[in-house]
Structure 1
Amino acid sequence: MSNKKIVALTRPISRSKEAKKLVESYGGEALIVPTLELELLNSPSLKKFMEEIDDLDWLIFTSVSSLDSIYKYYPDFNGKLNDNCKTAVIGHKTAEVAEKYGLRVDLIPKDYTAEGLLESFNDIDIKGLKIGIPRTYSARKVLPEELKNRGANVILAESYRSTIPHDKSKIKGLINKILNKEINAITFTSPLTVRNLFKVAEDNIKDQLSKSLSENIITVSIGPITAQALDEFNVKYIYPERYTVKDMIDLLFDKFNNKEN
């Protein structure tokens, strides 16, 4: 293996550009092998959501994909919102994209998780308010359920879908590279990126895969929610204090440098 650190990125290709640039800025080589695909949807629930858009008090975006889907199918979305509707996002990247689309962002939590977002709503009376959340239906239920518990009328809409790539050959190739110590690190940015990797792995090598991820390479999670998926497979990992792609890659190369010094 060359001295150049090889870092596997498991995000979809369209979401890996930032991480790839960061890895290369450290002199590393990015190996992009998506373990999930994102399909933008104009689902029946999203169509119904758009019929009620003018009545919303809050909009919550938990991913860039939801924004991309909304503006793909409804480019005049901003004109449909009422002036009093506020927007919350789960992290700075989603905020950047929302602002590029012309949305004003009113709330970003310090902790970029559903729990962090809920904490940011602690001092806001949402009882009786109508809150819209376009997202994937495979996302965790903690956010909408807790908002409902606080008295909000929550409208969920399926704006995209996460699936395992149809062509699994590259994922199988990645698994072989992990087992053969042909990469130095791997990053995971959502629970599904972890679970899909293990779904593709043959049952008889799952334990060996967990061991290799724990002992032979550096496994990096973007944050604690993705880390919970790694816990399911007994994989040892690290994750940054701030749950962003940049902080994740910075932490990884700090770890590399500490190992070498």
Structure 2
Amino acid sequence: MNGLEGKVIGITRPLERSQAAVEIVQDHGGIPLVVPTLELEAFASDSLMDLCQRAGEQDWIIFTSPASLESLFKYCPDFKEKLNTHCQVAVIGPRTERVLNDYGIQADIVPEDYTAEGLLKEFQGIDLDKKKIGVPRTFKARDVLPEGLRKMGATVYLAEAYKSTKPHDTSRVQLLVDEIIQGKVDAVTFTSPLTVTNLFEMAGDKKEQLINSFKEGKVLAAAIGPITQKPLEEMGIKSAIPSKYTVKAMLMQLKEEMSH
């Protein structure tokens, strides 16, 4: 029995990021249900425009998501030309690397472990003392990366590249909550802590029922990695998690769990 065959799989990631997941679910005979619990909004913040001006001073630029890359190049199209020749670039994982390559830039660092912790591990052997590092990202991101880099002696410049917000139209999320409670959804996938917390916050007075649907095994949860898994664990919800933190690996792990 193919684990995803005929199963309804909820995909909570932003619409513009859900295509790969949809295709993988369909390829394995599943029914993708795309209901973003998160919206990404590109944002020309003062700090981002400042990083654009200071591009030539940076020793490193670190991109932790495709959204940060796309926003920076949208508002600072000549960013690549502004970088000095010794500036190096690190990305958090292969998906961000692919987008970087689309802009004609090669990554100097892609960690084995696609997390902030994984990136910091890669930097351990590099002298960052007095080095300037630009990090465009959402200000809702964890502080693990900038704090770790500062401890290594770097001057970190954080620039707000986009905003992560709850969807403006909540009706589809409300419908997803009802369908999970009614047992019409077989599994829900989560790709960031905010996709988790937003869903449960938006459930409102149905939050307890929603939590119980997962706890009772009516619906399975799949998380892309341990950082996304954490808010689920805090609610007592078990989730499938892959050994490699990619969307494909997460869905293959889910398929495995659903084949039992």
Runs of 4+ displaced beyond 3 Å: none
Give distance in 2, aligned partners of 1:202 and 1:159.
30
List gaps (5 residues or longer) in structure 1: none
- Superposed, 1:232-251 pairs within 5 Å as 232-251=234-253
Residue correspondences, number: 256
Give distance in 1, aligned partners of 2:211 and 2:240.
14
Matched-pair contact (CA < 8 Å) for 2:180–2:213: yes
After superposition, give the CA deviation of every residue in 1:30-81 in whole Å (9 maximum; x if it has no partner).
Answer: 0000001000011011011111110100010000000110111122221111
**What TM-score, normalized to structure 1?**
0.96
Partner of 1:213: 214
The one of 120, 124, 128 equivalent to 2:130 is 128
Partner of 2:166: 164
The one of 168, 174, 177 equivalent to 1:175 is 177
Deviation at 1:253, TM superposition (A): 1.1
Partner of 1:60: 62
Matched-pair contact (CA < 8 Å) for 2:8–2:31: yes
Deviation at 1:198, TM superposition (A): 1.0
Deviation at 1:207, TM superposition (A): 2.2
After superposition, give the CA deviation of every residue in 1:195-225 in whole Å (9 maximum; x if it has no partner).
Answer: 001111123x322211212311111000000
Partner of 2:91: 89
Give distance in 2, aligned partners of 1:56 and 1:177.
49
After superposition, give the CA deviation of every residue in 1:218-258 in whole Å (9 maximum; x if it has no partner).
Answer: 1100000000121222211111000001101111112222x
Identity %, equivalent residues: 47
Give distance in 2, aligned partners of 1:213 and 1:73.
41
Question: What is the aligned-residue RMSD (CA, Å)?
Answer: 1.2
Give distance in 2, aligned partners of 1:166 and 1:89.
30
Q: Secondary structure at the match of 1:172?
A: helix
After superposition, give the CA deviation of every residue in 1:107-164 in whole Å (9 maximum; x if it has no partner).
Answer: 0111111011101111111011000000000000010011111110000000000000
Give distance in 2, aligned partners of 1:150 and 1:79.
28
Q: Secondary structure at the match of 1:46?
A: helix
Partner of 1:113: 115
Q: Secondary structure at the match of 1:107?
A: coil
List gaps (5 residues or longer) in structure 2: none
